[in-house]
Amino acid sequence: MDEHPAYFVKSVEKTFDVLRAFSPDTPRLTVSQIAAQADLTRASARRFLLTLVDLGYLRTDGTHFELTARTLEIGSTFIAGQSLPGVAELHLKSLASELGETASLCVLDGTDVVYIACVPSPRILNVSISVGTRFPAWATSMGRVLLSALPPQKLDAYYESVQLQRFTEQSIGSLDALRAEIQQARKQGWAMVSQELEDGLRGVAVPVWSGDKAVAAVNVSLQTNRSAPEVIEQDVVPLLQKTAHEIGLDYTGRTAHRFSTAS
C-alpha cells in the first residue's frame, strides 16, 4: 500500500479516480464500471457519482453517467496560461514566410530568455533554434526588450544579479553599456543585437503586450551578411511590431498596449 503524508485526503484522490475513469472510448459508464476502475465498492462509487452530479460535473439517465462541460473548468485556467505559443504559431509562420527568416517567441525566465515557439526559416540554411532553448537575457534582443518592460525595482534587482561574459568580440562589456542598451530599447520599443551572442548573427525583437505587461517577445534571427541594420529598422521592425500586435490582440482579446509603427 502506498504511504501518504498526514495531510493527504483520500476522498480527493478517489474523486479524481472517478473522473479519470471516463475516456473518449468509454464516455458513458455504470456505477459498477466506475467502481471497478476506481477501486471502490459499488455503494461508495454511487455516492461519489451522485455528489458529482449534484455539483454539475456529471449527468445521469439513472443507469449511466457521463461528464458534463463543467469538467472543462478544471483545466481551463492551465490551458489559458499555456495558450500563448498556440496563439502565436500562425502569426510566426506568416512572419517567417514573409521575411524568409526564422521567427520565434520568447519569454523571460529569471535571468534567461526561453524560446516557447519557433518557426524555422523556409531557407535551406537557417538559424537552428528549438523550443526550450535558453540564452542569457542581456545578450539577446528578446531579453533586452523584455527587461526594458520590467518595473524599476525588478530591473534594478536584475542588474545586481547579472553576470556579463564575452561570447564574441562584440559582446557588451559593462553594466553601464547594458543599462544604456536597455534604456534605448524602452525608448524605441524594440531592440537589435548584432553579433554579441554569435558571430555573423543579428537578432531583432519587439515585445508582445497584454495590457501593461510584456508577456513575451517576437524575434527574428538574421545573418549579418544578408541584413544591414538600417534595412532591418525600416523593413523588418514594422513587420515584427505588426506580428506582436496581432499576437497580443488574439491572446488578450483587446488591443495590445503600446503598439506603434517604427519610425
pTM for the predicted model, two decimal places: 0.64
pLDDT band at 29 (very low <50, low <70, confident <90, very high): very high
Residue with cell 495590445: 256
Contact 31, 46 (CB under 8 A): yes
Residue-wise pLDDT for 247-256, tens only, equals 998 887 644 4
Sign of the Cα pseudo-torsion (149, 155, 161, 167, in order) = positive
pLDDT band at 227 (very low <50, low <70, confident <90, very high): confident
Residue with cell 553601464: 176
In sequence order, the β-bridge partners of residue 107 are: 114
CA distances 229 to 183, 192, 202, 223, 255, Å, are 19, 8, 9, 11, 29
Residue-wise pLDDT for 115-150, tens only, equals 988 888 766 445 567 788 889 999 999 999 999 999
Domains of the chain: 10-76 (1.10.10.10), 82-252 (3.30.450.40)
Using alpha carbons only, what angle is made at residue 240 by residues 183 and 119, rounded to the nearest 5 degrees? 120
The DSSP call for residue 138 is: G
- Spatial distance between the Cα atoms of 89 and 60, rounded to a whole number of angstroms: 40
